[in-house]
Amino acid sequence: MKIIDEVKGAMTIAISGHIRPDGDCVGSVMGLYLYLKKALPAAEIDVYLDKPADIFRCISHIEDIKSGFYSEKEYDVFVALDTTDDRLGDVETIYRKARKKINIDHHVSNRGCGDVNIVEPDRSSTAELLYELMDAEMIDEEIAKAIYIGIIHDTGVLRYSNTSPRTLQIAAELIKFGFDFSTIVEETFFEKTYRQTQIMGRSVLESVRFMEGRCIVSMVSRRMMEFYCVTPKDLDGIVNQLQSVKGVDCAIFMYETGTLEYKVSMRSNGKVDVSAIAVKFGGGGHVRAAGCTMNGTYHDNINNLSIEIAEQLENE
Ligand code: AMP
Ligand code: MN
Ligand code: MN
């Protein structure tokens, strides 16, 4: 199947991804946008997404993204990438009105929310899946760069277990376009601002291990975010840092989003299916990386999550 066959004849197309977009989301959305602009020059194409982090400024035409502006248009086609409809945020209303809905994703928790569903949980990233749906001869350096960013962000730069031989083949095809992949990896994935480094340090310092060191948890309150002048975008990578502690099977990181409301991120080494846990609390994700929003006090939330983790580890 090729994406171009699914959008043939469409004069108006909308593209979007999940709220609080990560690298895979931004890379996929922009990769598809650049591709369709080239393939269908006469079509009107709009991209809706929460404002991406500044690190993604290296992606061509990123300034075309409409954030916080939502039209009443009824699009011929709406492509939702790296997400389910309930994580589209305010754009969900536009999605509902679209004449044809296409859902492209790799989350194991996604049952498909479009008229056309291309959901492949074995894919490292939505960006990888998107590459397969493109005609190779239409891909150029800018499209390749966007897709490459998507892949490296969801695979921890091609090192998590979701990286397959095919992922590496695609990465090889992409870097042939000649963009400066090394700088992109450094500047979008590894480099942290001083404030980001400080809040990461504080989170690690205040983390607590439990279940004989098999679990680790840390939290950032709204007051802490104000103190360090950071926003949720600055907290990326903290949960991965916690997960890399020797002996840890499952890491939990949460930050306060409102009164008694926390955004929860979980990571595991595969011994715990964190997607199953996230789904129980209204979220989703992958076996080794998942998230959800939880209401209640920090300690209530840890309690509720640890019951689920303990149950899985006992049945191991
Ligand atoms: P995070 O820790 O928020 O970066 O999320 C880890 C993985 O789980 C990513 O693939 C997210 O897209 C996914 N995820 C996070 N929150 C949710 C949610 N509420 N529903 C579905 N998937 C989620
Ligand atoms: Mn994502
Ligand atoms: Mn993804």
Instruction: Compute CA distances 17 → 39, 47, 48, 86, 245, whole Å.
Output: 21, 9, 8, 11, 31
**Residue 220 φ then ψ, to 5°:** -120, 125
Find the domain containing 60 and state its range. Answer: 3-190
Average pLDDT over residues 260-281: 98
Per-residue model confidence as pLDDT tens digits over 132-172: 999 999 999 999 999 999 999 999 999 999 999 999 999 99
pTM for the model:
0.96
Give the span between the Cα atoms of 148 and 167, in whole angstroms. 10
Going by alpha carbons, the residue nearest to atom 18 of ligand 1 is 283
Looking at 170, 190, 210, the residue that finishes a domain is 190
* pLDDT on residue 310: 97
Residue with tokens 């509720």: 304
Domain tally, the chain: 2
Residues 120 and 179 in one domain: yes
Per-residue model confidence as pLDDT tens digits over 108-136: 999 999 999 999 999 999 999 999 999 99
Q: Which ligand is nearest to the Cα of residue 87, counting in written order?
A: 1
Looking at 171, 190, 209, the residue that finishes a domain is 190
Residues 29 and 142 in one domain: yes
What is the three-class DSSP state of 47? Answer: strand
* Ligand 3 midpoint to CA 127 (Å): 8
Pocket of ligand 1 (CB under 6 A): 18, 22, 87, 107, 109, 239, 265, 283-286, 289-292
Q: Determine how many CB atoms are found less than 10 A away from the CB of residue 86.
A: 12
Looking at 156, 190, 224, the residue that finishes a domain is 190
Q: Is the pLDDT of residue 209 over 80?
A: yes
Q: Which residue has the higher pLDDT, 192 or 71?
A: 192
Residues 27 and 133 in one domain: yes
* Ligand 2 midpoint to CA 22 (Å): 5
Residues 167 and 270 in one domain: no
Average pLDDT over residues 6-12: 97
Residues 66 and 174 in one domain: yes
Residues 166 and 28 in one domain: yes
* pLDDT on residue 123: 98
Going by alpha carbons, the residue nearest to atom 17 of ligand 1 is 291
